[in-house]
Chain A
Amino acid sequence: MGSTNSTLIKIPNVDELIQETGFSTAHIIRLHDRFKELDKERRGYLCPQDFGAIKGLAINPIGDRIIGAFFSPGRETVDFYTFVKILAHFRPADNSRPKESSSPEPINSRTNKLKFVFQMYDIDKDGKISRIDLLKALRSMLEMQVTEEQLDSIVDRTIQEADLDGDDAISFEEFRKSLEKVNIDHKMSIRFLR
């Protein structure tokens, strides 16, 4: 009875995972099931094509970027541990946990969530959202009919609004400032129902 115990044994470093990500055992098992579902060829890791097979992601305008967030530069595979760590960004913040100043910042803190979103824009990963980054992002999110001029003017306006130190790019701090009034925890969290 209960395949739970046998499933837990199959997941390597599960205690570490729970500790680092804050997911409950049940959620880790669900994510493991999902991982196995996506890993159709049972290789123990996922590659970009496995993500590409997800229909909801395929119709998402920034689907490719989201997939890219799972793969560190130069790597073509992602194992379950990393998979869960990335998804941990989207855990709702637990306000019940007492904040210990010595422990490292949890993966689902506001800053880390913002960092994840920053990644969606900063494609060349140079720490700043440049005009080119923003142009590329907008191109993928908008339809073909939108002209280059329109894109340019939108990019101009956006950088003007957010760039505070005049370097014609948006740094992470500037990005954070421009989103300071947004309820990041609410908008960037996924709640498990069971």
Chain B
Amino acid sequence: MMEDFWASFFPVLMIWFKCLVLLIMLPAMFGISLGITETYMKILIKTLEWATHRIQRASRAEEILKHSSSNGGLIQRDDSSLEQEIEELRRNRPKAAEQGDFTLSDVLYFTRKGIESIVEDDVTQRFTSEELVSWNLLTRTNNNFQYVSVRLTILWGVGVILRYCILLPLRVTLAGIGISWLVIGTTLVGFLPNCRVKGWLSELVHLMCYRICARSLSATIHYHKKQNRPKKGGICVANHTSPIDVVILANDGCYAMVGQVHGGLMGVIQRAMERSCPHIWFERAEMRDRHLVTQRLRDHVNDKTKLPILIFPEGTCVNNTSVMMFKKGSFEIGGTIYPLAIKYDPQFGDAFWNSSKYNMVSYLLRMMTSWAIVCNVWYMPPMTQEEGENAVQFANRVKSAIAQQGGLVDLAWDGALKRGRVKDSFKEQQQKMYSHMVVGDDSSD
């Protein structure tokens, strides 16, 4: 019985495999597209539009209010400053206002601001996934939408079957092939003596494998401004949303990766990659020695034959609606900085890795059961540290440029705030501004 099963199953498996190789792997390896993904995306978009239409028709009195700003806030916020708001409060005073004074109504401003931040925190909001106005037929994003219609439910059901039973096995297979080829390929290239061919082969292997991996996520990436592609000996900085960022960027260019040495599968991949071209992997203990880290990076950058290094200065994954403070370490190395902006389209799949909610495996599983990953990458013109500019200012300048290009909000907050406490200086700033309004400029009466 079992033999019969295998006898009939085996040819099917072979056919499937051959299709896989021909239709997906080979084109991916050589960077050409057969148009299958494009057609898939078109059908997907049409279906989602229809679904949104149905939902909007169904919601009657509860209007889905359009959010005023692009970052999808939960509550209405006034953009006016502390001074403006308190002035307005004071306009209704019973007595005439003197230059700088205190009114009982002043506290209304602080009270409201405080409650606003209890309901919705500007910073915390960045560390949870961006909520969509319309539903993209993935349950995980369905917070506000109740049962709408039978047709929609059926469509959703079909979507589940499609994603879990067809797309998921396909993608896992591809990912498996991609990673094994990466390990094997780079090890093989590693046996060659150092020469130009080795470098060229190493780049080829890396590119092919990353392309297969990108296919395994159904990633559609649009690269803009390719003329600004990073050159050897440079430092690339980008905003960080998820570990997939690496795959996205490496699809179009070769970079030297920087990171911590891991064990397990990651470790195997890291060691293999190291054999074919130099990357920078740090032991955990070494990471604490900032001087050592900077020195190693500097050495790499100064060697003009080595690939540009890729760094994510935010230090943590942010949900891709804003850019957090850049750590200055990367900007102290010297050398040319090539900023890259990455923006994911949340319509088809949420790429953000909420490391406190999901571990790596469940995250990858979520990625592989989404519809697709669509993102835009902009290569921006190189920047260097200017005269009289310190590392922090330079970092902020680069950060603003990236935020502007990617259409993300430029926040002054530190990404480490995800876990840490606020510095007192922020509170002092508020106190200072308010004091100015109460006692005026000079502190002496």
Interface of A toward B, CB cutoff 8 Å:
1-5, 24, 26, 29-31, 33-34, 37, 51, 53-63, 66, 87, 90, 116-117, 120-121, 137-138, 141-147, 149-150, 153-154, 157-158, 161-162, 170, 175, 178-179, 181-184, 187-188, 190-194
Which segment, of B115-123, B204-212, B306-314, B336-344, faces chain A? Answer: B115-123
Complexed CA–CA distance, A29 and B75 (Å): 14
Please give me the residue from chain A that is nearest to B123 by CB atom. Answer: A55
B435 engages A116 (CB within 8 Å): no
Residue pair A146, B107 in contact (C-beta under 8 Å): no
Q: Which one of B76, B89, B124, B432 lies within 8 Å of A182 (CB-CB)?
A: B89
B89 surroundings in chain A (CB, below 8 A): 182, 187
Q: Given A33-B143, A143-B435, A154-B438, A56–B114 Cβ distance below 8 Å? A: yes
The residue of chain A having its C-beta at the shortest distance from the C-beta of B427 within the complex is A59
Given A24-B62, A147-B445, A193-B75, A141–B434 Cβ distance below 8 Å?
Answer: yes
Which of these, A1, A158, A190, contacts B119 with CB under 8 Å? A190
Bound-state CA distance A31–B120 (Å) is 9
What CA separation (Å) do A6 and B124 show in the bound complex? Answer: 25
Known: A57-B118, A59-B426, A87-B119. A141 touches B107 (CB 8 A): yes
Beyond A55-B121, A141-B110, A146-B435, whether A1 also contacts B92 by CB under 8 A is no
With an 8 A cutoff between CB atoms, is B81 at the interface?
no
Q: Are B439 and A182 in contact (CB under 8 A)?
A: no
A90–B115 CB distance below 8 A: yes
- Having A150-B443, A179-B105, one finds 17 other A-B pairs with CB under 8 Å, namely A3-B139, A3-B143, A4-B146, A26-B144, A61-B430, A61-B431, A63-B114, A121-B104, A141-B107, A142-B434, A142-B435, A150-B439, A157-B102, A158-B103, A161-B95, A181-B92, A190-B119
14 A/B residue pairs, CB under 8 Å, sorted by A: A1-B145, A5-B146, A31-B119, A55-B124, A56-B117, A57-B114, A62-B107, A66-B111, A120-B111, A142-B434, A154-B439, A183-B92, A187-B108, A194-B144
Q: Is the CB of B102 within 8 A of A58?
A: no
A2 and B145 form a contact (CB under 8 A): yes
Say which residue of A2, A31, A143 sits within 8 Å of B142 (CB atoms).
A2
Q: Are A2 and B119 in contact (CB under 8 A)?
A: no
State whether A55 touches B422 (Cβ < 8 A): yes
Q: Which residue of A lies closest to B417 (CB)?
A: A55
Q: Does B173 contact A (CB under 8 A)?
A: no
| Distance A52 CA – B305 CA, assembled complex (angstroms) | 50
Chain B residues lying within 8 Å of A193, measured Cβ to Cβ, are 65, 67-68, 73-76
Q: A34-B119, A154-B102, A181-B92 are in contact. Are A61 and B111 (CB under 8 A)?
A: no
Contact present for A55 and B413 (CB under 8 Å): yes
Determine the main DSSP class of A at the interface with B: helix
How many residue pairs bridge A and B at CB < 8 Å? Answer: 193
User: B184 contacts the other chain (Cβ, under 8 Å)?
Assistant: no
Which residues of the partner chain A approach B193 to less than 8 Å between Cβ atoms?
Answer: none
Judge whether B118 and A59 touch: CB under 8 Å: no
User: A178: which of B76, B94, B119, B428 is its contact (CB, 8 Å)?
Assistant: B94
Complex: A33 Cα to B74 Cα, angstroms: 12
Q: Which residue of B lies closest to A64 (CB)?
A: B114
A1 and B94 contact, CB distance less than 8 A: no
A121 to B113, CA, bound (A): 16
Interchain nearest-CB distance for A129 vs B (Å): 8
Q: Does B261 contact A (CB under 8 A)?
A: no
How far does the alpha carbon of A184 sit from the alpha carbon of B104 in the complex, in Å? 13
Residues of B near A30 (CB, < 8 A) are: 74
CB contacts (< 8 Å) of B417 on chain A: these are 55
**Contacting residues, chain B, for A154 (C-beta < 8 A):** 101-102, 438-439
A145 touches B443 (CB 8 A): yes
A31-B119, A191-B75, A193-B65 are contacts. A60–B113 as well, Cβ < 8 Å? Answer: yes
Are the CB atoms of A1 and B144 closer together than 8 Å?
no
In this complex, the member of A1, A2, A117, A150 whose beta carbon has the largest number of chain B beta carbons within 10 angstroms is A1
| B128 sits at the interface (CB 8 A) | yes
B147 CB–A CB distance under 8 Å: yes
Contact B143 A145 (CB under 8 A): no
User: Across the interface, which residues of A come within 8 angstroms of B121, CB to CB?
Assistant: 54-56
State in angstroms the CA–CA spacing of A181 and B156 once bound together: 54
A91 to chain B, nearest CB (A): 11
Q: Are B124 and A66 in contact (CB under 8 A)?
A: no
Q: Does B421 contact A (CB under 8 A)?
A: yes
> Which chain A residue has the least Cβ–Cβ distance from B413?
A55
Which of B106, B117, B123 lies at the interface centre, i.e. has the most chain A CB atoms within 10 A of its CB?
B117
Q: Which residues of B have CB within 8 Å of A143?
A: 428, 431-432, 434-435
From B88, which residue of chain A is reached at the shortest CB distance?
Answer: A187
